[in-house]
Every structure is written in C-alpha cells, then in structure tokens.
C-alpha cells in the first residue's frame, strides 16, 4: 500500500492533463465557429491568433501546476522518508 498515494498523484496529474485537453478541444477550438459569421480572412486570422494565445496560456498554466504539485509531492515524500529512517 506504499504506492497508493503515488497512484492518486498520477491519477490527479492525468486528470489535470485531460481537463486541459478537453478545454482546448471543446472550448478554444470552436471559438471560430461562434465568433466568426463572415468569411473575412482578417477576422479568421485574428480568431486563430486568439485561439493560439489561449491554448498557449492553458498549456503554460498546466505546466506550472504540474511542476508545483510534483514539488509538493516530492517534498512530502522526502519528509516522510526522514521520519521513517
């Protein structure tokens, strides 16, 4: 049962990745369908630029959160290892 909390940690990390993927696919990608009713190339370019910026922000926040939770997990594990030895 030592790896039980590692399983939850990995499950939590994959949950964060899935939430980010779903938000990019189902929220960010259809923006052009909802915002652009014209076939103007400049509006499509602006919408694509906005989509790209939002996707990069989501991925950046995901990387930051994954790194933060990894550090918290490792810190917790190292502290518990010191108590056992």
Contact in structure between 12 and 69 (CB atoms under 8 Å): yes
Q: By three-state DSSP, how is residue 10 classified? A: helix
b/e map of 6-37 (b: 16 or more CB within 10 Å)? eeebeeebeeeeeebeeebeeebeeeeeeeee
pTM value is 0.75
CB atoms within 10 A of CB 46: 14
pLDDT digits (tens, 9 = 90+) for 30-66: 877 766 566 676 777 888 898 899 999 999 999 999 9
Could you give the number of structural domains in the chain? 1
Residue 51 domain boundaries? 4-84
**Eight-state DSSP code of residue 38:** S
């Amino acid at each position: 049962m030592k790896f039980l909390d590692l399983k939850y940690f990995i499950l939590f990390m994959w949950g964060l990745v899935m939430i980010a993927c779903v938000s990019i696919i189902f929220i960010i990608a259809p923006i052009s369908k909802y915002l652009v009713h014209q076939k103007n190339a400049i509006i499509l370019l602006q919408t694509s630029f906005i989509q790209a910026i939002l996707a990069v922000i989501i991925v950046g926040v995901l990387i930051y959160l994954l790194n933060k939770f990894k550090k918290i997990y490792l810190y917790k594990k190292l502290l518990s290892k010191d108590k056992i030895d």
